[in-house]
Structure 1
Amino acid sequence: MGAAAGLAALVPVYYLTEAGAKALRMGTAAAGPAPAGLACLAAVAVLVAVLTVWPAAALTCGVPLISAGALFALDTEAALGMAATLPWSGVLWHGLPAAELAEPPGTLAGLTGLYTLIGALLVLSALLPRRLRSILSG
């Protein structure tokens, strides 16, 4: 059940992280606030906190995120080619920034290391002792 929860959470974590990073970049470029970016990354933080309760869920979601981050860090062209094959339309919620044609989903969050950071936090939480795993575990 934990592995299924981790796989189910992988898609929203991936796309919300990218949407949050894009919204923050758009806010910075406009020299204004970016509440959509904060909301997206807060939603990712909530999902990560919930996933850390189950080690299997944390590993199942964290390992692909680390792999995506490593691919962006080591071979950007291959990562962009793979990201270009991912669906974008129909995945986002209304009002969040979408991917540009020249920038496939995952590009900004992958290049900035957000996927690696989130994946590493999930994997490390699965390796911690049970009493230190999550604030939600009681």
Structure 2
Amino acid sequence: MRDRRPSSLLAATAGLAACAPVYYLTEAAARGLRTGHTAFSPAPTGLAYLAAVAVIVTLLTAWPAAALGCGVPLVAAGVLFALDLDAAMGLAATLPWARTGGLPWSPPDGAPWAELAEPPGTLAGISGLYALIGALLVLSALPRARGRSILDL
């Protein structure tokens, strides 16, 4: 009988492919929440972007290789933002769509979602969202302890 789970290489590739949407959606969520906070108003777009990230992360946790493929780069980005902000912002400025200030899926004539001096990923990186999401993905890929429950007698 053939195993129905995807191979580890395919799952890791899917995780790497999911890294870009998670990166940009997390940044869009952070910006939406910041906009709502500064305007002292609800931020439904920030919540919607964060919900989209949660759905992707939940799907990735089904395959440990996919969770590692997305989680390790996000942890690395979070650590880089925590240790060397200038280097992290310089690296973020080289990402696609950094010069236009638009989201990858927004129309070319749409309103910019980022300041040009603030490359994509800056707000989410500084706030630690990348490190948090990446760490959760990496931890979800670790093997589960098969210990007894404290309720077992």
The question of a shared fold, defined as TM-score above 0.5 by the shorter chain, is answered with yes
Q: Is the 8 A contact 1:20 1:38 kept in 2?
A: yes
Question: Does 1:16 find its partner at 2:25?
Answer: yes
Q: Which residue of 1 aligns with 2:62?
A: 53
Q: Is the 8 A contact 1:59 1:126 kept in 2?
A: yes
Alignment of structure 1 residues 43-82 onto 2, 5 Å: 43-82=52-91
Q: Is the 8 A contact 1:51 1:58 kept in 2?
A: yes
Question: Does 1:84 find its partner at 2:93?
Answer: yes
Give runs of ≥4 in structure 1 deviating > 6 Å: 94-97
CA deviation after TM superposition for structure 1 residue 90, in Å: 5.6
Alignment of structure 1 residues 1-138 onto 2, 5 Å: 1-88=10-97, 89=102, 91-93=104-106, 98-129=113-144
Structure showing greater Rg = 2
CA deviation after TM superposition for structure 1 residue 8, in Å: 1.2
Q: Is the 8 A contact 2:24 2:103 kept in 1?
A: no
State the TM-score, normalized to the length of structure 1: 0.89
State the TM-score, normalized to the length of structure 2: 0.80
Where relative contact order (Cα < 8 A, 6+ residues apart) is larger, the structure is: 1
* Rounded Cα–Cα distance in structure 2 between residues aligned with 1:45 and 1:96: 25
Give me the CA root mean square deviation.
Answer: 1.9
Which stretches in structure 2 are left out of the alignment for 5+ residues?
A: 1-9, 147-153
Paired residues in the alignment total: 131
SS in 1 for 2:115: coil
**Structure having the larger proportion of residues in helix:** 1
